[in-house]
Amino acid sequence: MTSLSCFTAYDIRGRLGHDLDEGIAGRIGRAFARGLEARRVVLGRDCRASSVALSDAVAEGLMREGVEVLDLGLCGTEEMYFATTHFEADGGIEVTASHNPMDYNGMKMVRQGSAPLDPATGMAQVRALAEADDFGASRPGGVRAPAVGAREAYVARVMSFVDVAALRPLTVLVNAGNGAAGPTFDAIAEALAATGAPLSFVRMHHEPDGSFPNGIPNPLLPENQPATAEAVRAAGADIGIAWDGDFDRCFFFDAAGRFIPGEYVVGLLAEAFLAKEPGASIVHDPRIIWNTQDVVAAAGGRAVQTRTGHAFLKHAMRDTGAIYGGEMSAHHYFRDFMACDSGMIPWLLIVELMGRSGAALAELVEARMAAFPSSGEINFRLPDPGAAVDRVIAALGPEAVARDDTDGVGLSFADWRFNLRRSNTEPLLRLNVEARGDAARVAEGVERIKALIGA
């Protein structure tokens, strides 16, 4: 039995030739089929150069287990989520490394109904089967065919979230980052144009290119934001949108090119959904929480906190029947989209909200950003993250008025709080700090914790 290091808490991610190769991908395909007793599986891939060969290997593994493989080809992760339910498949796999470095790839996987694999059972079973690599002879009946009509049906579902009549003339700059978003966005833009939607689009870095000539698309990193910000200003756009590689996350820039942190987008969308369904539940992650909780309480909703990560958010969405869920990292989940995350639905909803209110994006978030300033996520590479966390708890724990161990550690004080946690997918310690109405307290908290962890 060979240990496979590419399995993480809730997906597959690894360095090519070290943690993941075509042989391992084929074993994972067989293990997925065997573990889920799957007869039909949807398969998609991002635009990385290695994704074609890896998806071919996954398809071969699935077919060796007698599976009918419905091939989406180049697509976003959310298109795989949608197609899994649309085609009543037993599961779905997207070959993608999202925003990881060039020498990485991976897979995101769901079971029937586009539900995540439980980390402790479903994912563990797939891992055990892949590591054992004891599948025996191939089973008959395996085929691979295009998933006909998948994108058209997906676009129709996405369009169902927006009231085109509420839209007003806006110029929208979109940055696909040379990832998978471009062709799918074009299909949505075409559908919008067919309805007479008064939106005009400026496209940048739009063509999928697995060599990523403009850098790995991860708009959450501050160093990657100026290119979109400058393009928004140059185009005189009303709003800017940027996606990561598999576009399950989208990021927003106001007309001045200012990046809008994800927690304020969560607040906007939560408020919009609660206006449509008063009293509904809203799921959020534990990193930055005060703005979301305040918005939800004011709107008469119920805020539900869960661990960071798409598998945990989706389980909470399904368990509570929440209408919407959001993470500060720009994952947004929708009950009526199989409780899955989408990077296309959020920008449509924000543009609709701008149309309904007549307000600019900056106006929609200004008061919330002042009321609950935050640091943004700060990442540290440390030789001993556990010891660093222990030092922080020992020093600040006695002062805290509340402690939250949902994910990592969260300590709250009278007018500020922080969350410190290890990444689920990368060897990093992640810090988030927020305060009540005082940006200086955020800066002070960051410096205090940095000194304690030795950064």
Decide if 44 is inside a domain.
yes
Which SS3 state, helix, strand or coil, does residue 45 take?
A: strand
Which one, of 445, 455, 454, lies nearest residue 396 by Cα? 445
The boundaries of the domain holding residue 281 are 261-360
How close are the terminal C-alpha atoms of the chain, in Å? 39
Q: How far apart are CA 337 and CA 430, in angstroms?
A: 29
pLDDT digits (tens, 9 = 90+) for 398-417: 999 999 999 999 999 999 99
Diameter of the chain by CA atoms? 66
Residue 339 Rama label (left phi>0; alpha psi -120 to 50; beta): left
Residue 41 sits in the same domain as residue 138: yes
Decide if 433 is inside a domain.
yes
Which one, of 218, 8, 24, lies nearest residue 102 by Cα? 218
40 pLDDT tier (thresholds 50, 70, 90): very high
Q: How far apart are CA 346 and CA 340, in angstroms?
A: 12
**DSSP conformation letters of 271-293:** HHHHHHSTT-EEEE-SSS-HHHH
Please report the pLDDT score of residue 8 as a whole number.
86
127 pLDDT tier (thresholds 50, 70, 90): very high
Residue 73 sits in the same domain as residue 188: no
CB-based contact 257:300 (threshold 8 Å)? no
Residue 30 sits in the same domain as residue 144: yes
Mean pLDDT score of the chain: 96
Q: In this model, does residue 67 exceed pLDDT 90?
A: yes
Residue 311 sits in the same domain as residue 427: no
What's the whole-number mean pLDDT along residues 86-114?
Answer: 96
Which tokens sit at 415? 């007018």
Decide if 320 is inside a domain.
yes
pLDDT digits (tens, 9 = 90+) for 261-302: 999 999 999 999 999 999 999 999 999 999 999 999 999 999
118 pLDDT tier (thresholds 50, 70, 90): confident
Q: Total structural domains in the chain?
A: 4
Residue 123 sits in the same domain as residue 23: yes
Q: 240 φ, ψ to 5°? A: -120, 140
Residue 299 sits in the same domain as residue 416: no
End-of-domain residue from the set 314, 332, 360: 360
Decide if 187 is inside a domain.
yes
Q: Which of 50, 51, 55, 98 is catalytic?
A: 98
CATH number, residue 278: 3.40.120.10
Please report the pLDDT score of residue 425 as a whole number.
61
Residue 425 sits in the same domain as residue 348: no
CATH number, residue 382: 3.30.310.50
pLDDT digits (tens, 9 = 90+) for 422-452: 876 667 899 999 999 999 999 999 999 999 9
CA–CA distances in Å: residue 158 to residues 65, 211, 306, 350, 421: 33, 29, 26, 14, 33
Please report the pLDDT score of residue 182 as a whole number.
98
Which one, of 324, 182, 172, lies nearest residue 252 by Cα? 172
Q: How many CB atoms lie within 10 A of CB 213?
A: 9
pLDDT digits (tens, 9 = 90+) for 354-397: 999 999 999 999 999 999 999 999 999 988 888 999 999 999 99
Q: 42 φ, ψ to 5°? A: -90, 140
Q: How many CB atoms lie within 10 A of CB 226?
A: 11
Which one, of 144, 142, 116, 19, lies nearest residue 28 by Cα? 19
Which tokens sit at 171? 């110029």
Among this protein's residues, is 55 annotated catalytic?
no
309 pLDDT tier (thresholds 50, 70, 90): confident
194, containing H or E segment:
helix 181-194
Please report the pLDDT score of residue 428 as a whole number.
83
CB-based contact 386:394 (threshold 8 Å)? no
Please report the pLDDT score of residue 424 as a whole number.
66
Residue 28 sits in the same domain as residue 127: yes
Decide if 365 is inside a domain.
no
CB-based contact 145:70 (threshold 8 Å)? yes
Decide if 17 is inside a domain.
yes
Residue 30 sits in the same domain as residue 112: yes
Residue 207 sits in the same domain as residue 290: no
- Pair type for strands 281-284 and 324-326: parallel
> Which of 79-93, 208-222, 416-430 is predicted least confidently?
416-430
